[in-house]
Amino acid sequence: KAGVTQTPRYLIKTRGQQVTLSCSPISGHRSVSWYQQTPGQGLQFLFEYFSETQRNKGNFPGRFSGRQFSNSRSEMNVSTLELGDSALYLCASSSTGDTGELFFGEGSRLTVL
């Protein structure tokens, strides 16, 4: 069973640009959530999608957005990039089970110059 796949793994952007990150969940998983990981702030929840609907959203500015497609694949977009957006962006998928178990991808490491 393939794991969670995130692309690209690494990318470098400059301030003001925008970026789109992609996540393919484990087959059969309908929930996809996104997290930002930085040394200073740790792992912070961005948003969660379930069956193409945003089910929850973290405390991030509107520059951060996402969507989920009918095949459960998800994308997140960050517009007008700032230096502080440099981080590891992690995607996690889950079934609807009540075990608190998320399956994470390797992440997309974004560097903003």
Partner 1 sequence: GQSLEQPSEVTAVEGAIVQINCTYQTSGFYGLSWYQQHDGGAPTFLSYNALDGLEETGRFSSFLSRSDSYGYLLLQELQMKDSASYFCAVRGLSATNKLIFGTGTLLAVQP
Binding site for partner 1 (CB under 8 A): 4, 31, 33, 35, 42-45, 48, 50, 55-56, 58, 90, 92, 94, 98-107
Determine if residue 26 is left, alpha or beta; phi over 0 gives left, psi from -120 to 50 gives alpha, anything else beta: beta
What span, in angstroms and rounded, lies between the C-alpha atoms of 108 and 11?
8
Instruction: Look up residue 104 and give its two tokens.
Output: 């994470």
- The minimum distance between CB 94 and partner 1, in angstroms, equals 5
In the complex, the smallest distance separating the C-beta of residue 110 from partner 1, rounded to whole angstroms, is 14
The residue among 70 and 99 lying less far from partner 1, judged by its C-beta, is: 99
Q: Cα dist. 35→1, 64, 89, 93 in Å?
A: 23, 11, 6, 11
Q: Least separation, in Å, of the C-beta of 16 and partner 1?
A: 28
Return the number of the residue (44 or 65) whose C-beta is nearest partner 1: 44
